[in-house]
Amino acid sequence: MATTPIDDFLLLIISSPSGAGKTTLCNRLRGEFPELRFSVSHTTRAPRPTEVNGREYHFVDEAYFKEMVRIDAFAEWARVHNHYYGTSLQEIDLARTKARGVLFDIDHQGARQIKAKLPEAVGVFILPPSLQELERRLRGRGTEDEQATVRRLQNAKGEIEHYGIFDYVIVNDDVEQAYGKLRGIVFAERSRRARKAALCEALLLESRDKV
């Protein structure tokens, strides 16, 4: 398959505090836009029972991960909740040959690193309508103890402090409306003048040739 033209290739970063609905929105986006390749990160944490290596994550040991860091193989990486996570540059290179973009589901640390290396990347931050609602959602999961829930709420405040590095902010108080805004960002970004400049110039050259 031919390489995707650079003007049509979208690097889309989705980030949010845990519990704000990022995963639900990303899954819907992947369903509607299958040409956006989901970036499968590397991690040193153990897989959960339903997770498959290479699908949710590339599960590696700490020594392997640190070797990848040493050879500068990551577009971004960070230590989160006592485990390492990272997006390999190979994931992005592969997507350029087979897709029309990459969807990154990462935290603000990863978003900052990717935007520093790849300034054309577009960042979207998903906000809960309130911290009280975020706490309700986290407790409603029923999957973590009190200590873990409190830690996630504390981390959420830290995540929100970094909203300024993102290009768009969506408040997820209604999932349908939030998703409508997210898909609208995809269409808007693909219609940016800079992305279509090469096409415009080609049309102008074509019109000159016919004169």
Please report the DSSP string for 1-50 in residue order: -PPPPGGG-EEEEEE--TTSSHHHHHHHHHHH-TTEEEP-EEESSPPPTT
d(CA 50, CA 28): 19
**Element of type H or E holding 183:** helix 175-190
Token code pair at residue 48: 């959960």
Residue entry with tokens 């693909």: 190
Widest pairwise Cα distance in the chain = 74
Residue 183 pLDDT exceeds 70: yes
d(CA 111, CA 15): 8
Domain 6-39+100-210 class, CATH top level: alpha beta
Distance of CA 70 to the CA centre of its chain: 24
Distance of CA 91 to the CA centre of its chain: 13
In angstroms, what CA-CA distances link 20 with 7, 31, 62, 171, 210?
31, 19, 29, 9, 55
Interacting residues of 173 by C-beta distance below 8 A, sequence separation 6+: 128, 129, 133
The region of weakest confidence among 26-40, 80-94, 130-144, 154-168 is 130-144
State pTM to two decimals. 0.83
Are residues 72 and 62 in contact, defined by beta-carbon separation less than 8 angstroms?
no
d(CA 115, CA 184): 21
pLDDT of residue 178: 97
The region of weakest confidence among 52-61, 94-103, 146-155, 160-169 is 146-155
Give the pLDDT confidence of 184-205 residue by residue, as tens digits.
Answer: 999 999 999 988 888 898 899 9
pLDDT of residue 142: 66
The region of weakest confidence among 36-45, 149-158, 171-180, 185-194 is 149-158
pLDDT of residue 2: 42
Residue 38 pLDDT exceeds 70: yes
Domain boundaries of the chain, sorted by first residue: 6-39+100-210
The long-range contacts involving 63-70, CB below 8 angstroms and separated by at least 24 positions, are 68/42
Residue 134 pLDDT exceeds 80: yes
